[in-house]
Amino acid sequence: MIPLLRTVAAVALLGTSMPAFAEAPPPSHPAVKPEAPPVTFHRLELGNLRFTKGVARHPAQTIAVRNALANEQHPHAIVVACSDSRVAPELVFDQGLGELFVVREAGNELEPLALASIEYGVAHLGVRLIVIMGHESCGAVKTGLAIPDGQSAGSPNLDALVSSVKSNLSDAGLTDADRHDPKVVKAAHANVDAVTRQLTQRSELLKARVDAGELAVVSAIYSLDTGHVEFWHTEGLLPAAPISEVKAGH
């Protein structure tokens, strides 16, 4: 079964005005101290809500911000995303320069260099929230489902990618309908779940931070149709403070 998903932007379908959501204060640029995971998580939720409603602020893109970031960076979240050109984390979450440490691989697979990049963000940049974000209609997932076992995807590197996706989906309990779903919804969720588990299975550094409560990891799926990001594995990441409404034109 697909895990229970946390839906935030769907309420926009009920009307033009939005109920109040608790908004964290805007970050300084660059941030001088890593945010607590609940604050960062809520910031990403709100950024995605603005993106889906067409009221993105495009923050932290001024010359002053660029100059301030020239010598150091203090991102508040790591986003592990697919390389798909339609899934740009900075846009999807309405974040600016220096706010996200992004690691992108086809199918958001955890190759050694990708995992090392994540460890760097946690150990050296102090990031305390990791988002593993897949997306519907993922080409890497579709390829993993379509290519028969033993058949080459066209090159050794592509074969390695397909093998990784197949391994992630091997215990997902996918039906024929799931495998032929044009949006590969259940398969994309299963792939994200597998990558989320692998994060702490393959990295003692990350596991130690998670076990100590210093690092949070959440799973997410991006909808190409709506722009909405649905999250799960969000236990303990509650809204941090009361805030204003998000409305079209504001």
Strand order from edge to edge, sheet including 229-232: 100-104, 77-81, 129-135, 216-222, 229-232
Mapped onto helix, strand or coil, the DSSP state of residue 237 is coil
Using DSSP, state whether 89 is helix, strand or coil.
Answer: helix
Tell me the pLDDT of the chain (250 aa) as tens digits.
Answer: 444 344 333 333 333 344 333 444 444 444 457 789 999 999 999 999 999 999 999 999 999 999 999 999 999 999 999 999 999 999 999 999 999 999 999 999 999 999 999 999 999 999 999 999 999 999 999 999 999 999 999 999 999 999 999 999 998 999 999 999 999 999 999 999 999 999 999 999 999 999 999 999 999 999 999 999 999 999 878 654 443 445 544 4
C-beta of residue 138 within 8 angstroms of C-beta of residue 189: no
Quote the strand ranges of 113-223, DSSP E: 129-135, 216-222
Residues 6+ apart with CB under 8 A from 185: 2, 136, 178, 221
Cα dihedral value 41, 43, 47, 48, nearest 10: 20
With vertex at residue 218, the alpha carbon angle to CA 25 and CA 52, rounded to the nearest 5 degrees, is 60
SS3 call for 81: strand
- Predicted TM-score (pTM) of the model is 0.83
Place of tokens 């550094």: 205
- In the block, tokens 């034109």 appear at 249
CA separation for the pair 14, 33 (Å, rounded): 38
Domains identified in the chain and CATH numbers: 28-232 (3.40.1050.10)
- Is 84 in contact with 42 (CB distance < 8 Å)? no
The DSSP symbol for 6 reads: B
185 within 8 A of 136, measured Cβ to Cβ? yes
